[in-house]
Structure 1
Amino acid sequence: MAPECCKAPLLEGRGTKGCATPAQTLGNIVVSIVGTGVLGLPYAFRTAGWLAGSLGVAGAGAATFYCMLLLLDCRDKLREEELEEGQRQGQQDEERRHGSYTYGDLGERCFGPIGRYFTEAIIILCQTGGTVAYLVFIGQNISSVFPGSVRVSPATVVLAFLLPAEVALSFVRSLSALAPFSILADACTALAVAAVVKEDLALLAGQSAFDGGRSAFAGLWGVPFACGVAVFCFEGFCLTLALEASMADRARFRPVLLQAIAGVSAVYVGFGVCGYLAYGDATKDIVTLNLPSTWSTAAIKVVLCVALALTFAVMMHPIHEIVEARLFGAGGWWARRRGDTAGAGARGDAVERAALQLSRVAVVTALAGVACFVPAFGEFAAFVGSTVCALLSFVLPALFHLRVVGPAAGAWARAVDCGFLIFGVLFAAHGLYTAFSRP
């Protein structure tokens, strides 16, 4: 099952009919999109230039919105086909009337089981990239809080402090119990953004914003980097169908989605420009590291990192969900190993629960190990955004749209789909090349 509730806690408990108002849906969209990536935008603007970075963020927002609409078009087309099939068979069940699909469902309807497996694999990689970025972010910020005489590396923070806490949180299997931490993390992110903007404005008030080497266009190769960070910042793409299904009036989802994407894009541009103009070439890959070493800024960093450490378990939920379905679900590895799962008895059930918890510990430990080898948050965010996020946000929607709607669409619509498909593949290839060619 695709992870359609990975970062939208207000979706918990929604039925297929949906009962969310436009205001609630707008809040869900913002919660699902905004994450730690926003704090890496000033560094992306430093790499690309303030004008090129602004255009990159605006372009990423527009492309994300358009590709979200492609998913909705695919869902509408499949729903029409199911309704027609139901009418021919004299059936009108609830599922056909409401047409609820996950991202994985679209993959399977378009390309069979292989399509579902590939889509879910991309979702896992995207979520994995986000969770590792959380660990890197927390490790670097907590490491910066310690005084200069105490040298604590980010890897030590991850392994000694974060890993035990995240292993313990992985035993909590109820998403509703974890969901409030996601809202807390977004509130703390807003607090950190406000603190950074306050410091930016104080610095800009005493200097000329365009002095000191602040450039509008810093070079051609910086643009893909900024675009990769921007794509990474638009998290929650796989939630599009679930967010739309949660509305009482689905016809109003598209204008609500446009308002949310436009508003978030404007905030991203303003935050990135202010951060770069304030610090110039001294802008760090996590802009909170540019804040002065005071008790107030240290407290902001700690509160932000604690909230992110708690919401890490929410981010891990879809990964655990897919892994456990493949290992312990019907036809999974564990079921084949045990043979007759129904007659295993209480002892076999206890062993299965222990194996399930062990799988969660193993996944969390593996991600913590990966985070220890990530050198910089900004470069990692750009890599994830330009590879798996690009595949999830651009390539798959265009591919699904060509498959489902393409035969009935006009030549211009098919050309746009092909353009997004080619762009997404080339963008991902460039991200891989950049990552592996770096010394």
Structure 2
Amino acid sequence: MELSNMNQTAEMNRTPSEQQKLEDWLPISASRKAKWWYSSFHNVTAMVGAGVLGLPFALAQLGWIPGVLMIVISWILTFYSLWQLIELHEYVPGKRFDRYFDLGRHVLGPKKGFWLVMPQQLVVQVASTIVYCVTGGKSLKKFFDILIPAMTHVRQTYFILFFVFIQILLSQTPNFNNLKAVSSLAALMSICYSMVAFIMSMVEGFDHHPSHYGVRSHTTPGMVFDAFNALGTVAFAFAGHSVASEIQATLPSTEEKPSKVPMWRGVLVAYTIVIICYLSVAVSGFWAFGTEVDDDVLITLQRPNWLIAIANFMVFIHVLGSFQVFAMPVFDTMETNLVQKWNFTPSKMLRLISRSIYVCVVGLIGMCIPFFGGLLGFFGGLAFTSTSYIIPGVLWLNAKEPKRWSFHWIASWVCIILGTIVAVVAPIGGVRTIVVSAKTYKLFS
């Protein structure tokens, strides 16, 4: 029997009181007391993360004009597609689609909708947590390498392991709304280190920025593959859609003031912060270092040592929170299936064991393949474009059925077509980047 059918059967077999009791325990639907500004910092935490540090590298792969255009166009398109998801959250009167795949299942049917959304949403969330393990470990190692040079011999693997240990503790947070303190701190850190990257890139750039700018590769195949990878890197930077419905689910809703009102207010603030951070870091980083910029711009910065160390520690604090924002929907899915399909009793012990196993598994994967730039491109194209560009448009066209050639019809198709192109080519560039990086890599180094 298929997973979607099994889930529906399990839901039907439970009495309304049992189902409501489960919803009150699950991390996504347990609390609906969030304020509008919670959605701001949840969205900032989800977006201004590892992706922003890779944007100067993406410009080095695409060049000035194509790179900046790609960032701006992606911002516009994903701003629109996020609006679509917000509007669809309660488009059926009296019903809330608390989870992305619930919306897909309602609009496109139990099988088609479930399998269109669920696997890709899960890939985005799992991939994000893997990348954040790598980012957290690399940033913490850089922090100690700068302040305590005697520790440079300590392997990056051990720093990732330490990051995983802290995540095991944080993963016991009962529900999404209880993450507000962690997420707000993470959002603040993301803004701070973005500004540090911007200011310090400008300072170093005034001293010795390149006399000319091109792209990293000097061969046609290299340029093509790099461009593919850069498209995925930019797509990765706009990954917040995979948790948008779950964030909105934490907001209260009434007939007079549906959840889309505070959610949209929060997103307006978040997306303003996003574009400021993205363009400032991307442009200053590429301007300062040209094609020599690393796939994590903070790694490229050299002075002043104390400020670079602090910025890397800010990244570490940020990814502690962003890991949890992306992991919480995964925990929700795991716990739903453990209770509904395997008849486990909702308990703290169930959370402790299931969530700890998940964190350990993604941490192990991060230790085995810590290729930051390649991971951004590969995962960005593989699933991030789908959840942020393609699926919202597909759901809107089927749910709202806009007139052909109307604004929303055209905008939805533009998102779908451009998203499909990136989804096809970006993983190719990402795989090549990983393969090239792997030639000089030793396992658990």
- Classify the TM-score, shorter chain: 0.7 to 0.9
Query: Residue 157 of structure 1 corresponds to which residue in structure 2?
Result: 159
Contact 1:68–1:397 (CA under 8 A) maintained in structure 2: yes
2:289 to 279, 282, 292: 279
- Residues 76-225 of structure 1: matches in 2 within 5 Å? 78-79=91-92, 82=93, 95=94, 102-114=99-111, 115-116=113-114, 118-144=116-142, 145-146=144-145, 147=149, 150-159=152-161, 161-207=162-208, 209=209, 211-213=211-213, 219-225=223-229
C-alpha distance 306-292 of structure 1, shift in aligned 2 (>3 A): same
SS of residue paired to 2:109:
helix
What CA deviation, in whole Å up to 9, does each residue of 1:136-155 have, x standing for no partner? 11211222332267312222
C-alpha distance 110-168 of structure 1, shift in aligned 2 (>3 A): same
Contact 1:163–1:365 (CA under 8 A) maintained in structure 2: yes
Contact 2:101–2:114 (CA under 8 A) maintained in structure 1: yes
C-alpha distance 171-71 of structure 1, shift in aligned 2 (>3 A): closer
TM-superposed CA distance for 1:262, in Å, is 5.1
Contact 1:45–1:226 (CA under 8 A) maintained in structure 2: yes
- Residues 243-282 of structure 1: matches in 2 within 5 Å? 243=248, 248=257, 250=260, 257=267, 260-261=270-271, 264-282=274-292
What CA deviation, in whole Å up to 9, does each residue of 1:275-331 have, x standing for no partner? 111122221111111222623422332343145335533432221111111122x2x
TM-superposed CA distance for 1:116, in Å, is 3.0
Q: 2:120 is matched by which residue type in structure 1?
A: I
Structure-1 separation of matches of 2:409 and 2:349: 50
Query: Residue 409 of structure 1 corresponds to which residue in structure 2?
Result: 403
Which structure 2 residue ranges, 5 or more long, are not aligned? 1-6, 8-27, 436-445
SS of residue paired to 2:154:
coil
C-alpha distance 163-221 of structure 1, shift in aligned 2 (>3 A): closer
Query: Residue 70 of structure 1 corresponds to which residue in structure 2?
Result: 84
Pair 1:326 & 2:337 matched: yes
TM-superposed CA distance for 1:41, in Å, is 1.2
Contact 2:140–2:312 (CA under 8 A) maintained in structure 1: yes
1:57 to 71, 80, 84: 71
SS of residue paired to 2:173:
coil
C-alpha distance 437-414 of structure 1, shift in aligned 2 (>3 A): same
TM, length-normalised to structure 2: 0.75
2:233 to 213, 229, 249: 229
Structure-1 separation of matches of 2:87 and 2:188: 33
Contact 1:237–1:392 (CA under 8 A) maintained in structure 2: yes
Identity %: 20
SS of residue paired to 1:226:
helix
Contact 1:185–1:311 (CA under 8 A) maintained in structure 2: yes
Contact 1:61–1:265 (CA under 8 A) maintained in structure 2: yes
C-alpha distance 149-260 of structure 1, shift in aligned 2 (>3 A): closer
Query: Residue 344 of structure 1 corresponds to which residue in structure 2?
Result: none
Contact 1:228–1:385 (CA under 8 A) maintained in structure 2: yes
Q: 1:172 is matched by which residue type in structure 2?
A: T
C-alpha distance 176-232 of structure 1, shift in aligned 2 (>3 A): same
Query: Residue 357 of structure 2 corresponds to which residue in structure 1?
Result: 362
Contact 2:45–2:186 (CA under 8 A) maintained in structure 1: no
Q: 1:138 is matched by which residue type in structure 2?
A: G
With 223-232 and 269-278 compared, the bigger mean Cα shift is at 223-232
Contact 1:61–1:262 (CA under 8 A) maintained in structure 2: no
SS of residue paired to 2:295:
coil
Structure-2 separation of matches of 1:105 and 1:253: 18
Query: Residue 379 of structure 1 corresponds to which residue in structure 2?
Result: 374
SS of residue paired to 2:59:
helix
Structure-2 separation of matches of 1:361 and 1:239: 21
Structure-2 separation of matches of 1:75 and 1:171: 27
Contact 1:228–1:381 (CA under 8 A) maintained in structure 2: yes
Contact 1:51–1:217 (CA under 8 A) maintained in structure 2: no
Q: 1:156 is matched by which residue type in structure 2?
A: Y
Query: Residue 319 of structure 2 corresponds to which residue in structure 1?
Result: 308
Kindly report the root-mean-square deviation, in angstroms, between the aligned alpha carbons of the 2 structures: 3.5
Point out the structure with max Rg over C-alpha: 1
What CA deviation, in whole Å up to 9, does each residue of 1:97-143 have, x standing for no partner? xx665422211112333223542332221111111111111211222
TM-superposed CA distance for 1:427, in Å, is 2.1
TM-superposed CA distance for 1:205, in Å, is 2.4
Which structure 1 residue ranges, 5 or more long, are not aligned? 2-8, 83-94, 336-340, 342-348
Structure-2 separation of matches of 1:267 and 1:197: 8
C-alpha distance 182-259 of structure 1, shift in aligned 2 (>3 A): closer
Q: 2:371 is matched by which residue type in structure 1?
A: A
Contact 2:231–2:377 (CA under 8 A) maintained in structure 1: yes
What CA deviation, in whole Å up to 9, does each residue of 1:35-64 have, x standing for no partner? 231111111111112222111100111110
1:424 to 405, 419, 424: 419
Q: 1:320 is matched by which residue type in structure 2?
A: F
TM-superposed CA distance for 1:414, in Å, is 4.3
SS of residue paired to 1:318:
helix
Structure-2 separation of matches of 1:73 and 1:314: 22
SS of residue paired to 2:110:
helix
Q: 1:316 is matched by which residue type in structure 2?
A: A
Structure-2 separation of matches of 1:428 and 1:229: 11
TM-superposed CA distance for 1:260, in Å, is 4.7
TM, length-normalised to structure 1: 0.76
TM-superposed CA distance for 1:203, in Å, is 1.8
Q: 2:365 is matched by which residue type in structure 1?
A: V
TM-superposed CA distance for 1:393, in Å, is 1.0
Query: Residue 433 of structure 1 corresponds to which residue in structure 2?
Result: 428
